[in-house]
Amino acid sequence: MKKKNKKFDTAAIIGPSGIGSVHLREIIKTGTQNIALVGRKFKRERIDILSKNNKEIKFYNLKSIKEIKKLKPNVISVCSPTKYHYDHISYIIKFCKSLIIEKPIFWFKHKKKSNYEIAKNLLNKKSNRIFVNLPMISLAKQIKYKNNLVKIYKLNFNYFTKGKNNFENIPIDLLPHALSFLFTLNSNTLKNFKILSITKNKQFWSCKIIVNECLCKFVFKQDPNRQDSRLSFKINNDTYLRKQFIKNDIYLIKILKNKKELINIKNPMTDYLNFILKNMNKKDILKKNNDITLNLIKIMEKLINY
């Protein structure tokens, strides 16, 4: 029998729609007894449906994050828009030290103090347990294991999505995916970094960089009119294309290698989120997540401000 994730007494989700619904689904599976939801819209019917389908759980429909405090949650997922992340984190970290934040952890476009320094001060505080949800860590681990990868000297990462971002908001949204993928394949440590070129327009952003002696090219496109997202990458001399299938309302993922070999993988989003939920109190796991988070922020600031 498959074991459940760690059971929490009380959890809360800020932004339970969209990606937040994945957090909600996986937290429900842990057997958590009380779950609070705070959304931009106060939806009474959402709680009715959840309560009907999960009678053993008490759901709370809250109108603001200030109401979360009285419930004393063990863990809070922050899935609100990026522009609200820092304010939400700053408020809830006072009464809940275990947080899961959707990437990026936050982003200030205009601030005297760097995003890196702000994040470092927040993540390095010993009492805080802040995980950033980076699903490409799971994808990279699976690809690395299934292909016995050791030395990565070249990486092309192409991600075309249905996102609504443009100009500098595109790399803010998608660089965490590419960089967390890279650091997981190679090393959490940032030894050296060099920018070779950057190209950008309203719906397109790309860069050529060298990270830890690995030559990388990242290409991003966002178009809200796209029907599907497309993720492809090339590691050394091998090409990979993500193939997505929907079965019983659940995304199933396969990777097509060199246009001929199909590789079965776990859904990176749910796999890494479950990994976090199981390991919230493990300092070594937290440190690896924090290291990758800080290294990618350091590179992002140089690329976006270039």
Which domains does the chain possess? 10-102 (3.40.50.720), 136-304 (3.30.360.10)
Q: Please state the rounded mean pLDDT for residues 271-287.
A: 96
Average pLDDT score, the chain: 93
Average pLDDT over residues 270-298: 96
Q: What is the mean pLDDT of residues 113-119?
A: 94
DSSP reduced 3-state for 235 = strand
- Is the backbone of residue 110 left (phi > 0), alpha (psi -120 to 50) or beta? beta
Mean pLDDT of all residues in 186-190: 88
Residue 108 half-sphere exposure toward CB, CA atoms < 13 A: 12
Distances (CA, A) of 71 to 3, 37, 85, 101: 27, 11, 20, 19
d(CA 294, CA 132): 10
The pLDDT of residue 6: 60
Helices within 42-131 (DSSP H only): 44-53, 82-92, 115-123
Across the range 137-145, mean pLDDT stands at: 97
Residues 216 and 200: beta-carbon distance below 8 Å: no
The yes-or-no verdict on residue 289 having pLDDT over 70 is yes
Say what the pTM is. 0.94
| 82 pLDDT more than 90 | yes
Q: Which residue has the tokens 């952890």?
A: 105
Helix 283-304, helix 115-123: angle, nearest 10: 170
CA dihedral 89, 94, 100, 101 (to 10 degrees): 10
The answer on pLDDT for 171 being more than 90 is yes
Q: Which of 210, 217, 206, 196 has the alpha carbon at shortest distance from 170? A: 206
CA distance 36 to 97: 16
In the structure, what pLDDT confidence band is assigned to residue 1 with cuts at 50, 70 and 90? very low
**What is the percent of the chain with per-residue pLDDT over 90, rounded to a whole number?**
86
- Name the residue among 125, 96, 133 with its Cα closest to residue 9: 96
Contacts of 164 (CB under 8 A, 6+ apart): 222, 224
